[in-house]
Structure 1
């Protein structure tokens, strides 16, 4: 399972920037080679790849290596929340602070001088945070679906991607990290067509709810994208975040093979009723084995994620070829 970690946003660098005007370095605000801005004399920002409610993502070039990367700019809390909190889970201390590469804590706010000693070097309050991430050149799975003939993947291709998704979700769950927003838009593809699992802004971990007083191991925050969420979230009940992720994976697998949402309806309340009743129909071109796996995920008591990985690998294994190599 060691290679599964690469399905998360791998190898990131955190650039902490003081408020505008505080940085005296000409490289921080300069431009070169057609790029609008250079961060710390190294990362040259280019065009905007996407925008969210609290951040922007740029295509950038690493001036040292010439490699292209993605740079996410946003408020420190919002930008850092998009990263998987794996280092928190591994470290055994799951607090509110997000740690960067090497487990380093986020820098503290300015501190008063130490008693009886020299004053501490003041820290700039963080004005914005830049996360340097791997650039997924293949775009999102959703955009890839739009560009395919027929609007969906054939079954072997869908299975190949789904094995990678199931492995990534299982790996996150083994670290007590639950994504809570698994959807086609949050699945990116690299230049080889391999999956990159992104945007952990709504993720939680086991201790988070315990710190809020919960003792039953269930989550209480009702979040996610309405077409992908489990029934218990729509019903405003406490829920098992792991099972909710599996349900969302079922929606993704359906979308990969059908090209449309399983509970799609022009009327939002009608769609909610379909989700709560788990009422859907697989397209006629789905194999019986695939229908069965989707049905076991889109269930009020879905298949455990540990069995999901095994089932997704076993399902049609004679057709999947190289997908075993990527797990």
Structure 2
């Protein structure tokens, strides 16, 4: 079970006060999300810089986010390691929770790459050693990160790596089922392991290793190994392990990456094997001139445009047949539901046609938008539904269903009661907390 997290209570302090509980002098805003804001602060007694996450109790009360926040705090309390961001204490008022953490001055690893270059192999090796050291410690404490990426890795003023953001992490003593596997679909699409998407359960440690492989590729290539503007196309590349190593990579690194990015989780390299790998065991770090290679250019594939930034765990979670996210967006038309089926697109098209015909002209197929896409009309044109099918693998397809116009009751009647029962969808995933790690005040 999750260990209890003690929270010291106060009565009147807020994040906007100059001093918090007389202990911390609040400084500039570092960032914010949907339920929280993060500030730079200074300890009054020691002068030490800290980061303070300020969470609104009102905005998480009565939602899954409440237990989500508590789990993240509990996990961070378990993890005391030089390459993991430390949590110092948790304070609270009637309206706010204040999580006091280590302040990492150097910023995100992602920002270092996105400035215009890749890392030399020696520097990448140094960071990867530290990443694997932190990951091995997490796994030894029953924690699986599940969202490893350069944005969740910080670099301190000494040039050392710090793992952070445990908002999507799993605890072995709480979330592993009787089959010994995790089943919650989460992560960031470009970094997620292929076995997570098939919804048959996955080993958290091996999934983390895959994400580390993607991180190492990004560090040494300067772009993502699996990328496409079409999400389904990118998932196909991940399933097949389709990527190209740049010409400047050493043969030893290419071999190492092939073991990290093995699509078969059972034969994928383990953390113990990583620590003994010849590439990782090579000599020290070159001088600072080896840090970036801007002359090689920067792949546009690695640029994160605003429209792609939201492609986080929500996209993967929404693929679960057991979790309809339409409720998050109200009952207005336009929401998209996504399910995964273990039938071919051709069979799904046939079953959709069969379901529509069974309504005896109450609903009609009015057009075929593509080979595996169609529009269905009902209520004398007042209701319209779009169905789009994407082949994910030889045995999996994704079905996107969008209600363009019409009452939600007709959507429920047609999709939920007539079409959905005819499809062979994969096993349901349990409901999970939202993917955001911190939320806006």
Question: TM-score range with shorter-chain normalisation?
Answer: 0.7 to 0.9
1:258 deviation in Å? 0.8
1:135 to 78, 103, 108: 103
1:11-26 matches, cutoff 5 A: 16-17=8-9, 22-23=11-12
Answering whether residue 135 of structure 2 is matched by residue 169 of structure 1, we say: yes
- Richer in helix (by share): 1
2:258 to 279, 295, 298: 295
1:126 deviation in Å? 5.2
1:321 deviation in Å? 7.0
Return 5+ residue gaps in structure 1 as ranges. 1-12, 91-99, 108-123, 323-327
1:196 matched to which residue of 2? Answer: 162
1:132 deviation in Å? 1.2
Answering whether residue 221 of structure 2 is matched by residue 250 of structure 1, we say: no
Is 1:50–1:58's contact at 8 Å kept on the other side of the alignment?
yes
* Greater Cα radius of gyration, structure 1 or 2: 2
Answering whether residue 185 of structure 2 is matched by residue 225 of structure 1, we say: no
1:320 deviation in Å? 3.4
1:138-157 matches, cutoff 5 A: 138-147=106-115, 149=116, 151-157=117-123
Q: State TM-score, norm by structure 1.
A: 0.73
| 1:201/1:259 CA distance change after superposition, 3 Å | same
2:52 to 36, 53, 71: 71
1:263 matched to which residue of 2? Answer: 226
| 1:265/1:201 CA distance change after superposition, 3 Å | same
| 1:152/1:139 CA distance change after superposition, 3 Å | same
Return 5+ residue gaps in structure 2 as ranges. 58-65, 81-86, 288-441
1:44 deviation in Å? 1.4
Q: Show CA shifts across 1:231-250 (max 9, x none).
A: 11122221111110000000
Count of aligned positions: 265
1:260 deviation in Å? 0.9
Is 1:14–1:130's contact at 8 Å kept on the other side of the alignment?
no
Answering whether residue 75 of structure 2 is matched by residue 85 of structure 1, we say: yes
1:156 deviation in Å? 0.6
